[in-house]
Amino acid sequence: MRALTVRPERPDSVEVRDVPDPVAGPGELLVEAVALGVCGTDREIISGAYGWAPQGRERLVLGHESLGRVRRAPEGTDFTAGDLVVGVVRRPDPAPCGACARGEFDMCRNGRYTERGIKERDGYGSELWTVETDYAVRLEPALESAGVLMEPTTVVVKAWEQIERVGQRSWFAPQRVLVTGAGPIGLLGALLGTQRGLDVHVLDVVADGPKPAAVAALGATYHHAPVSEVAEKIQPDVVLEATGVGRVVLDVIAGTAPYGIVCLTGVSSAGRRIPIDAGATNRDLVLENDVVIGSVNANLRHYTAAAQALAAADRNWLELLISRRVPLNRYADAVRPEPDDIKVVLTFE
Ligand code: BGC
């Protein structure tokens, strides 16, 4: 079968190769790939800046935003052939930390977790893949086309859960949310904000194209003015930061309403320095009881909630987020960003 493979730490080593078909072990599903989302993390792995091959191997099968159809399921499980499924990205390490031992592997404390397609485990970027039934989540059949958005949705479900849990430390009745960055994470985060009945504002650098249209279709407000100006105007109770850009991060931290919660989801590269008024930032956080949290990955609870959020969303709106569908063999086109891209997806026909 064909698989999208890469040699981590070796820039531009990505290629489609023939590899042996996987064999499902006990308790595992054999799945035919339907689609695979491409994200910034994949591009970073391809550039050689991130990613780890499985132990004793040179190459890693790429891909963590999966969607597939079950070809064979073990008897006596909840799954049957034909089910639409998504595989969970992270696994706890073999000697789990306290969080991993409690199913909260997204909160791993010792960093020895593994991730499919990213860290020491082959990903879902192959025509066939296997997954443990305990780490597979079924989607309703109507999500055949948009279900590939599941993994990024799990990431924002977790981010929203963290925001709400932090908010619960005192009286919390948020009204306005600012989402910075109208990529897949930002837009799916905005979707969840509207599903919660909030007044959602999304900010991005582009002035036209599919992003403003997708925000408007949600009933949210689109901005492309400087962050500090927008934050000053709308005084957000919650900020979901999805750019990872240093200046934006600092501006939103300074720009919340009192008791503001900023949730950072963007993974930035190190090495960029910008001046910061540390005294003013500190004073603002202290005097307003503000909180800044980082959030990454997702556990099974978030996958279940994400499947529900996608099922409740307008399917035409979800389709707006998928800019291009590119066959596996043309992976180089998929990886090369184009101006109007939101989510690019590889297909496996
Ligand atoms: C993935 C997460 C993963 C993170 C760090 C992100 O792109 O969506 O599941 O934990 O990268 O490897």
> For the segment 237-263, what is each residue's pLDDT rounded down to a tens digit?
999 999 999 999 999 999 999 999 999
* pTM score over 0.95: yes
Q: What gap in Å lies between CA 83 and CA 102, rounded to an integer?
A: 28
CA of 284 to the centre of ligand 1 (A): 31
Please give the average per-residue pLDDT across 283-308, as a whole number: 98
Q: What gap in Å lies between CA 110 and CA 100, rounded to an integer?
A: 9
Q: Is residue 337 part of a domain?
A: yes
pLDDT number for residue 349: 81
pLDDT exceeds cutoff 90 at 114: yes
CA of 330 to the centre of ligand 1 (A): 24
- Ligand 1 binding pocket (C-beta < 6 A) is 39, 41, 64, 89-90, 115, 118, 151, 155, 296-297
CA of 144 to the centre of ligand 1 (A): 23
Is the same domain home to 196 and 167? yes
Going by pLDDT thresholds of 50, 70 and 90, the confidence category of residue 136 is very high
Q: Strand, coil or helix: what is 68?
A: strand
For the chain, the domain total comes to: 2
pLDDT number for residue 22: 98
Tracing tokens 């950072």 back to the chain, one arrives at: 264
Ligand 1 atom having least distance to the Cα of 89: 9
Q: What is the per-residue pLDDT across 181-235, written as a single tens digit (0 to 9) for each? A: 999 999 999 999 999 999 999 999 999 999 999 999 999 999 999 999 999 999 9
Name the residue among 116, 151, 92 with its Cα closest to residue 303.
151
Of 294, 310, 335, the one marking the end of a domain is: 294
pLDDT exceeds cutoff 90 at 41: yes
Is the same domain home to 215 and 134? no
Is the same domain home to 168 and 284? yes
Is the same domain home to 7 and 134? yes
Name the residue among 196, 162, 201 with its Cα closest to residue 309.
196
Please give the average per-residue pLDDT across 68-81, as a whole number: 97
Percent of the chain with pLDDT over 70: 100
Q: Is residue 169 part of a domain?
A: yes
Parent domain of 328: 2-146+321-347
pLDDT number for residue 12: 87
Q: Is residue 220 part of a domain?
A: yes
Is the same domain home to 134 and 160? no
Is the same domain home to 132 and 162? no
- Domain of 67: which CATH number? 3.90.180.10
Q: Is residue 288 part of a domain?
A: yes
- Domain of 257: which CATH number? 3.40.50.720
Find the helix or strand (DSSP H, E) in which 193 lies.
Answer: helix 184-195
Is the same domain home to 330 and 199? no
Is the same domain home to 127 and 205? no
Phi-psi region of 302 (alpha: psi -120 to 50; beta: other; left: phi over 0): alpha
Q: Is residue 325 part of a domain?
A: yes
Is the same domain home to 127 and 212? no
Q: What gap in Å lies between CA 65 and CA 34, rounded to an integer?
A: 11
Going by pLDDT thresholds of 50, 70 and 90, the confidence category of residue 23 is very high
Tokens of 69: 């159809």
Q: Is residue 311 part of a domain?
A: no
Strand-pair partners of 177: 200, 238
Is the same domain home to 273 and 190? yes
pLDDT exceeds cutoff 90 at 269: no
Q: Is residue 233 part of a domain?
A: yes
Q: What gap in Å lies between CA 323 and CA 168, rounded to an integer?
A: 37
Is the same domain home to 129 and 168? no
Q: Is residue 300 part of a domain?
A: no
CA of 150 to the centre of ligand 1 (A): 13
Name the residue among 122, 93, 119 with its Cα closest to residue 20.
122
Ligand 1 atom having least distance to the Cα of 155: 8
Please give the average per-residue pLDDT across 71-97, as a whole number: 96
Ligand 1 atom 6: residue of nearest CA: 41
Please give the average per-residue pLDDT across 115-139, as a whole number: 98
Q: What gap in Å lies between CA 276 and CA 248, rounded to an integer?
A: 12
| AA identity, residue 314 | D
pLDDT number for residue 156: 98
Name the residue among 25, 19, 33 with its Cα closest to residue 87.
33
What are the φ and ψ backbone dihedral angles of 190, each rounded to 5 degrees? Answer: -65, -40
Is the same domain home to 162 and 286? yes
What are the φ and ψ backbone dihedral angles of 258, each rounded to 5 degrees? Answer: -55, 145
